[in-house]
Amino acid sequence: MELFWYIVLMTMLTIYVILDGYDFGAGIIHLFFAKKEKDKKAITNAIGPFWDANEVWLIAVGGVLFFAFPTLYASSFSGFYLPLIIILWLLIFRAIGLELRGQINNTLWHTIWDKAFGIASLLLALFFGVALGNVVRGVNLGNVVDGVSTHEGHYFFLPLWNTTFSPQAEELGIIDWFTLLLGIIGVVSLAIHGANWIIFKTNSDLNTKLRKVIFNLNFVLLALVAVSILVWHVIEPKPFHNFIDKPWLWIFPILTFTGLFGLFKVKSFKKDGIGFIFSSLFLFGGITTTVASIFPKVLPSTNTINPSLTLYNTAADSYGLGVGVYWFAIAAVLVAVYMFIQYKVFKGKMDDIGYGDH
């Protein structure tokens, strides 16, 4: 049952990244490339009917984490307290930036909330990438100091950064050069993803320019991914051990690079949705590759005193996990019906829906 709920949790997390990821990416494009009012409206129209439903997936992930892996939930929400609070405030400002902009027809008012929406989207993409970096790098479980565990084995707390900015320090921080690298990858990949969604859902004048932006950013993304793979050896001496033991896992890196290299053809795609498929494939492959590389760990320990947290030593009782399957089946059907109706109603281009006009 632990493996079933682990797959459920990772599937929901991946869906969240792909769906809310294009919202974040659209916000980044809005911040840097939407100069005209009609371009700004096109972007908000593209995500208007979807963004709030997409964010519900994050709440659902938290709920499944609390239910199925309570030890991991307790450990993570206390240890990552500072960045979680920052993410909460960024989600708030991003939402009210979308909702309050159209309340008053004033240029200064519009500018304030445009910046709130764009900057919050950029920082959310950065922090979610940093969060992934923390999971790959691991944390100092038990807060071991000089070889002595000062707390329980599943407890940790991280400041936003440490004085050395190193991922190999005994007293780690949330942000170091390795996690920041993955944060930047998050920003670039979601900017590409958001641009593909805008192209897919609008006939904006920006679309031709966005194809060039995607093409250029893809070179940056390829370089960053190559560097991250190389420096992975600094964090984990044997980063590919799971792929060597289970060769079928190579399907995930293959999907990642299929999506990445496919995006270099963005200028020649005849259908607007093809680019979005490739960027979704890259995100799916990147997340599953990362998960597969550390399996069965869910939060590695950077010390030898306390063991890593795994899906087995953090899971709830098997009886509770078994009962939860029935409720999950009902919820899954309801969500599938809702999403089918939502994307059916809002299929096609979204230029004329008038989102935010009050």
Task: Summarize pLDDT for 210-263 with one digit per residue, the tens.
Answer: 999 999 999 999 999 999 988 888 787 777 888 888 889 999 999 999 999 999
Whole-angstrom distance, CA of residue 319 vs CA of residue 159: 37
Listed by start position, the domains of the chain span 2-345
Long-range pairs for 314-318: beta carbons < 8 A, 24 or more residues apart = 314/69, 314/70, 314/71, 314/72, 314/75, 314/154, 315/1, 315/2, 315/5, 315/68, 315/69, 315/71, 316/67, 316/68, 316/69, 316/70, 318/1, 318/2
Whole-angstrom distance, CA of residue 196 vs CA of residue 199: 5
DSSP letters for 258-296: HHHHHGGGGGG-SSTTHHHHHHHHHHHHHHHHHHHHHTT
In tens, the pLDDT along 156-207 reads 888 888 888 888 877 888 999 999 999 999 999 999 999 999 999 988 888 8
Length of the chain: 358
Tell me how crowded residue 84 is: count the other CB atoms within 10 A of its CB: 15
Whole-angstrom distance, CA of residue 125 vs CA of residue 117: 12
Q: What are phi and psi of 149, to 5 degrees?
A: -80, 120
State percent of the chain over pLDDT 70.
99
Residue 273, pLDDT above cutoff 70: yes
